Amino acid sequence: MYTIGIDIGTTNCKVCLFQVPSLELIDQYSFRTPKVVDENNTEFDIRLIWDGVVHGLKILTCNINDEINVSAVAVASVGEAGVLLDANDNIIGPSLTWYDTRPKQQLEKILSTLDIEDVYKITGIPAHSNYSINKIKWLHDNIEHAEKGQKWLCLAEYIAFKLSGEKRSEYSLASRTMALNIAERRWDEKMLAAAGVAPSLFSPLVHAGTAMGHITHEVSGLTGLTTDTLVTIAGHDHMCGSVAVGLNDENQILNSTGTTEGLLVVTETVNNTGHFFRARVSNGIHVLPGLHSLYASLPSAGYAIEWFRNLFELDMPAFLRMVDTLSNEKALVAAEAMDGIFIPHLRGSGPPDRNTWSRALIYGLDDKSRPEDVLRFVFQGLCFELRNLLDLYETLTGRRYPVVNVIGAACKNPYWLQLKADILNREIVACNVDEAVSKGAAILAAKAAGMDIDNGSAAATEQMKRYVPTPDAVAHYEYIFTQIYKPLYESKMRTEHLCYGVN
């Protein structure tokens, strides 16, 4: 028996076939996420994404020659982004990426009606132009006939609709729209009225892993999947990744790495008080029944590394050789009294001072600096940003997280993982789970098919590697963090608030 987990990501899309209940990854197909880039504006090319998913499903079914045993397909995706559909289910206008900043004016209009703290109390998320409701309003204001749009579906919801013919909204993705009442788990009339959005634009809400229909006859013909194959929405990608590594209680914390990097904590209650509002962390409804989440992301992680590679025109082999050089120099660098700082705000800043206007800062270069030194600053800067966020989480929750579980791209980079251990002064458990988001989606697909897989044992012990802090390095980086990084960070953010007039 098999299930398929689909991950629609910022950089790559993956279609993965898993055997159940063993959760062995049998086969996969991946492709670069198609986008349309026009200067500072970036859009997902939804039609090409759909074509890629169909092609991937066809390849997987052809390779196993046993499509009748694919019991279910589940779709996960990034949050915030989506599509607006007309009465004939045609796409209206572009699909803005989650990080596209064009809907700033639409957010300002909403905040002229609702107090920013009230928005947080209702939705559990800090008001930001990234969220879906602002994208919808931007389409209304800028695209002809967009106000006649009939439905909004987040990316995973749209792919699930194309597979099954059924329109549903899933709770974890709905909690990234800025239109959901987080405590009452319903679309909020006050938020919709402030945005001028009709409640009918959103579909009925379902939990992740709820069977919403079967593969249509048309999709069956295109892919080879049978019409007995169930379809479900797996939900927000970071939540699905947490399922794959067995994160299911409040004493654990997950560092999900990819284009962005985030920290996720599973909670049993909504934390939308003023204390959490001031920290600008996001509440969410988890993909596991009855649970919520606290999540905050740093907009640049893998993206900062991609930026560095493009800056120095490095192909992957050359980049990996440079990382090896840094690994060999690590002991020498840690013994130095001084080092450089990179604050990686290439796409704005994350909590506790979330600001789309924020810019990156690099300090410590001189006439002898090499590209290797810049790369070291990049990796260290990502870890210092994460340390800042971890400190915030521990202050908010009153808990100390002695172990940080890591999934995603960082798990294949021992240099980065050891830096995390030394700069965070925490044990790092790298959960090198093959395609963690797709695996979490496959677990939820199994749930849709009536199979209960214990996510607490989903990650095999042999897939985990532990990194422990090195005392001398911890002392070195603690000095840099407190004496150099923090003062520079605070000074930079103060300057940006003055320059851009951001409250």
Domain range list for the chain? 2-245+433-463, 300-399+474-500
How far is Cα 52 from Cα 155, in angstroms, rounded to an integer?
14
Over residues 88-128, the pLDDT tens digits come to 999 999 999 998 989 999 999 999 999 999 999 999 999 99
Cβ atoms 5, 448 nearer than 8 A: no
* pLDDT attached to residue 331: 58
Give pLDDT, residue 261: 87
| Residues 303-331, mean pLDDT to the nearest whole number | 91
Q: Quickly state the pLDDT bin for 228 (edges 50, 70, 90).
A: very high
Q: What does pLDDT average to over the chain? A: 91
Ordered DSSP codes for 161-215: HHHHS---EEHHHHTTTT-EETTTTEE-HHHHHHHT--GGGSPPEE-TT---EE-
Whole-number Å distance between alpha carbons of 6 and 233:
10
- Report the C-alpha gap between 496 and 490 in whole angstroms: 10
* Model pLDDT for residues 329-347, shown as the tens digit of each residue: 865 555 454 578 999 999 8
Tokens 């450089």: give the residue.
340
pLDDT at 252: 85
> What distances in angstroms separate CA 365 from CA 207, 383, 476, one per listed residue?
50, 19, 19
The proportion of the chain whose per-residue pLDDT surpasses 70, expressed as a percent, equals 95
- Report helix, strand or coil for 276: helix
| Per-residue pLDDT, 444 | 96
Q: Higher pLDDT residue, 63 or 166?
A: 166
Residue 355 DSSP one-character state = B
The CATH fold of domain 2-245+433-463: Nucleotidyltransferase; domain 5 (3.30.420)
For 271-285, what is the mean pLDDT? 91
In this structure, are residues 151 and 87 in contact, taking their beta carbons and an 8 Å threshold?
no
Phi, psi of 461 (to 5 degrees): -60, -35
Rounded CA-CA distance 364/342 in Å is: 9
Mean pLDDT of 268-273: 90
Q: Which two tokens stand for residue 492?
A: 């930079």
Higher-confidence position of 14 and 38 = 14
Domains 2-245+433-463 and 300-399+474-500 share a fold: yes
Q: What is the 3-state secondary structure (H, E, C) of 302-347?
A: HHHHHHHHHHCCCCHHHHHHHHHHHHHHHHHHHCCCCCCEEECCEC
Q: What is the DSSP string of 443-503?
A: HHHHHHTT----GGG-S-GGGEEEE---HHHHHHHHHHIIIIIHHHHHHHHHHHHHHHT--
Tell me if 150 sits within 8 A of 86, measured CB to CB. yes
Could you report the per-residue pLDDT of 182-222, keeping only the tens digit for each? 999 999 999 999 999 999 999 999 999 999 999 999 999 99
3-state DSSP assignment of residue 129: coil
Is residue 459 within 8 A of residue 244, CB to CB? The reply is: yes
CATH label, 300-399+474-500, candidates 3.40.50.300, 3.30.1370.100, 3.30.420.40, 3.50.50.60: 3.30.420.40
Q: What is the DSSP letter of 483?
A: I
pLDDT-based confidence at residue 461 (cuts at 50, 70, 90)? low
User: Secondary structure of the chain: what % helix, strand, coil (to 5)?
Assistant: 45, 25, 35
> Which pLDDT score, from 0 to 100, does residue 328 have?
86
Q: Is the predicted pLDDT of residue 503 greater than 70, yes or no?
A: no
The pLDDT of residue 460: 55
Largest CA distance in the chain: 66
CA dihedral 383, 388, 390, 394 (to 10 degrees): 160
How far is 498 from 231, CA to CA, in rounded Å?
50
Instruction: Supply 233's token pair.
Output: 């929405």
Q: How confident is the model at residue 29 (pLDDT cuts 50, 70, 90)?
A: very high
Average the pLDDT over 236-246 and give the result.
89
Compute the distance between CA of residue 274 and CA of residue 115 in angstroms, rounded to an integer.
13
Cα–chain center distance at 287 = 14
CB contact burial 159-168 (16+ within 10 A = b; e otherwise)? bbbbbbbbbb
